[in-house]
A and B are shown apart, each in its own frame.
Chain A
Amino acid sequence: MSTAVSEEFQQAAEELLSGTVRQEEIRAELAEGFSASLWGRVMETGWTEVLVPEDFGGLGLGLAELGPILKVAGRHLVPGPLIEHATVLPLLATAGLDLEDERLDELRRGTRKLAVAGLGESVDKLPRLTDGTLSGTAMNVRYGDLADDLLVFCSDEQGLLAALIPTDRDAVAVAQRRSLDPIASTADINFPGTAVAPSELLSDAAARTLGDRAIALQRLLVSCELSGIAERSLEMAVSYAKEREQFGRPIGAFQAVQQLLAQAAKQSHGIDCLCRESLAAADRSESSIGHIAIVTKAGVAAPSREVVECSLQVHGGIAFTIEHEMHGYYTHALSLEALHGTTRELTKELGHGLIGGSSSWPEW
């Protein structure tokens, strides 16, 4: 891990995004939920290449470099399947799928967008592949409506599979669902007997390896995104508390308000430390990444939401309006908190693991 490189990345991301999201045409696009111009700018940066091995034309760096970028994306509420691209493309590069260079290249440049369906689902709930055709429905696929390509986890009588198929194939029915998260759209995708070629499929072991790694990477990066949401929400709350006056003084001079903000600052510091240590640990120890990712997501999601809730409280009525940007932070935090396991599901899994595990503190 190189601290210098990761700080440089973070700073560059902050400079790019803080300027870009304020541009008028991008703001107008963002009001509709997705900005193709912003997405294009983000994809030009090469952030989704960070984890791609050098042999495959990527940067060959680690999570310690990628994570801080996602934190900045969280600070500025950047919509689009950035996490999907940044985690799945490096894995596809080495998974052994026979992809045309052009398609892979378009995915990397973001001119084709990728969504992932069924990641982490139990096998019996996944769409089913029989005699080369896929049937069933993948529910609530993040950015499924925007995607040009879909990595769909599915099953046959042998077990788990993963298929990479274009969404414009005949007999793929994408039904957008309305989302309360203003920057993450969602869709149900139905496969009423969709043809899948053997070259598009990863079989059991390969699909499982890719799935386990992808979900761990996504949990870690979602945590980073949440850490940015928390940090930015706290900043907004603190600056509002210094400006807004009641009873003849700034509300930030009242201990009742100070105690709320100090608790949020404590949480934000813990969130940051956990993300930073976990990213470094996951880079060091590939075999522990699954456990590290669960701990991180479980440790970051709820406190992040609580920091945003504190910010809502400190802002008073204004932050609940659709015009104020705070509402975007809250709704997106609610949505990320449930992605790849709620806090309750994850802590339960950790508890069972501890009871079934060894007597010593699990080192990583």
Chain B
Amino acid sequence: MTEAAGDLEQYRAEAREWLAAVDAPKSTEDYLEHLRGLRNWHRALYEGGWVGIQWPKRFGGQGLTIRHKLIFEEELGRARLPQPSTSIGLDVVGPTILRYGTDAQRERFIPPLLAGDELWGQGFSEPDAGSDLASLRTRAVRDGDELVISGQKIWTSWASDADWCAVLARTDPSLERHRGISYLLVEMDSPGLTVRPIIHMNGDAEFNEIFFDDVRIPVDNVLGNFEEGWKLAMDTLGHERSTFVLRRAVENRASFMDIVDGLRDYLDGVSAEADVAAHLGRVYVELRTMEAQTRATARRVGAGDVPTALDSVDKLSLSETEQSVYELAVECLGSERMVVGGRTKGLDADRWTPGLMYARSASVYGGTSQIQKSIIAERALGLPKGR
């Protein structure tokens, strides 16, 4: 299948038809059960040929293009269906293995990653290394054909359900900061590795701490060269930003239309309070701007022009837009917003208030908005290094 307009439209029609017929994962209050449901959902999508759309066929992908992937994302959002399991493997670690892995690593890790048989986490941040990631202290010491890891990671998304984790660790302590870091692939059930979930204020246990107490991994599980980890990680973050933005923008549009649908019965077109209408219009316009931005991004990604400082522009815009969508709903909920099971104006507090709490983290995770702005200032605008 090519990128010709007719072929793309046919692809969209096929996706829509498949999504209309498939059994959607059931929603559940229990977080672990929810994750298990997503794992099954991932496998269903994979068997349908909807995972790894733009990935090479020989590793289990579909060998299509980023435009096909974007079309599927749009249809998935339109059908209000969730993403395949957790996104770290597909969006972040997988592309890095594909780009920097040896053939043996690619053959070992990519097919089960795409199939949803092995889920991935990403252990970058540490208690004392957040925005200043290069100051990380987790160490990996060589012992024959093995590396012995000791230290602690934090804010690792979905680690409690992950099978593998990409870990940044210091392999040469004599080198300063980012120069001494390697990119390691660690199995989560390794002896000496413990995971402790951190409960988010919205009740989810998405984040975790990981403790490494002399965890042994084979040296074959170093991705890229020793002490090259920083380069791989930065490249990965660029990918994370651009593909994440494409998907999330679609989801935000779907959420916004749910708000509009909810409000529609409460407000009829003519008597809608002017300030509510203007607020809706304002967020709609933000989403339209984001949509235009993502089209430019899709062209950029399609042309291989990633990562660039524009990824930071996208990340910054996306977090603001996402927060605007949830703020709109919570504003409309009024005092009902804080009541469990609360409902007014066609909107459910249980969805939108925890959603806003989660959205607040959008301007922190994956590099804070302030860090994004520093990147834009230095790399896009050419300003001197800030202080």
Contact = CB atoms under 8 A, between A and B. Distances in A.
Interface of A: 238, 241-242, 249-250, 252-255, 258-259, 261-263, 265-266, 269-271, 273-274, 276-278, 295, 298-299, 344, 346-357, 359-361
Nearest to A259: B373
A99 to B, nearest CB: 38
B71 interface: no
B277 A262 contact: no
Interface string B273-299: 010111111101110111111011000
5 contacts: A255-B377, A262-B372, A262-B377, A349-B281, A351-B277
B285 to A, nearest CB: 4
Contact of A269 (B261, B281, B282, B313): B313
B110 interface: no
Which 4 A-B pairs have CB atoms at the shortest separation, nearest pair first? A351-B277, A347-B281, A356-B269, A350-B281
B8 interface: no
B377 A273 contact: no
B359 interface: no
A255 B381 CA distance: 13
A351 B383 contact: no
Nearest to B287: A361
B272 interface: yes
A252 B277 contact: no
B78 interface: yes
* Interface of A, helix, strand, loop or mixed by DSSP: helix
A298 B383 contact: no
A250 B381 CA distance: 14
Contact of B277 (A242, A278, A348): A348
Given A250-B384, A266-B317, 14 more contacts: A254-B387, A265-B313, A265-B381, A266-B313, A266-B316, A274-B293, A299-B285, A299-B286, A299-B288, A347-B280, A351-B276, A354-B280, A355-B263, A355-B264
Contact of B380 (A263, A265, A278): A265
Contacts of A360: 78, 257
A351 B280 CA distance: 5
A347 B386 contact: no
A357 B256 CA distance: 14
Contacts of A346: 281
B289 A299 contact: yes
B376 interface: yes
Interface string B356-377: 0000000000000010111011
B278 A269 contact: no
A354 B260 contact: yes
Contact of B384 (A253, A276, A298, A299): A253
A266 B370 CA distance: 13
Interface in B254-269: 254, 257, 260-261, 263-264, 267-269
B288 A274 contact: yes
B384 A350 contact: no
B161 to A, nearest CB: 32
Contacts of B293: 269-270, 273-274
A258 B257 CA distance: 35
Contact of A344 (B278, B296, B380): B278
Nearest to A237: B381
Contacts of A254: 386-387
Interface of B: 78, 253-254, 257, 260-261, 263-264, 267-270, 272, 274, 276-282, 284-286, 288-293, 295-296, 310, 313, 316-317, 370, 372-374, 376-378, 380-387
B260 to A, nearest CB: 5
B281 A354 contact: yes
Among B272, B282, B377, the one with the most A-chain Cβ atoms within 10 Å of its Cβ is B377
B386 A258 contact: yes
Given A262-B374, A262-B377, A278 B384 contact: no
A253 B386 contact: yes
A241 B278 CA distance: 36
B370 A259 contact: yes
A277 B289 CA distance: 9
A360 B257 CA distance: 7
Given A238-B383, A351-B276, A355-B269, A277 B377 contact: no
Given A266-B316, A352-B272, A360-B78, A258 B377 contact: yes
Contacts of A355: 260, 263-264, 267-269, 272, 277, 280
A276 B296 contact: yes
A204 to B, nearest CB: 25
Contact of A262 (B78, B292, B376, B387): B376
Contacts of A258: 373-374, 377-378, 381, 383, 386
Contacts of B253: 361
A261 B383 contact: yes
Contacts of A259: 370, 373-374, 377
Contacts of B277: 347-348, 350-352, 355
Given A254-B387, A263-B373, A277 B257 contact: no
B313 A261 contact: no
Nearest to B274: A348
A298 B281 contact: yes
A273 B289 contact: yes
Contacts of A249: 384
A295 B285 contact: yes
Contacts of B281: 298, 346-351, 354
Contacts of B269: 352-353, 355-356
A332 B385 CA distance: 34
B332 to A, nearest CB: 12
A274 B295 CA distance: 10
B374 A351 contact: no
A276 B299 CA distance: 13
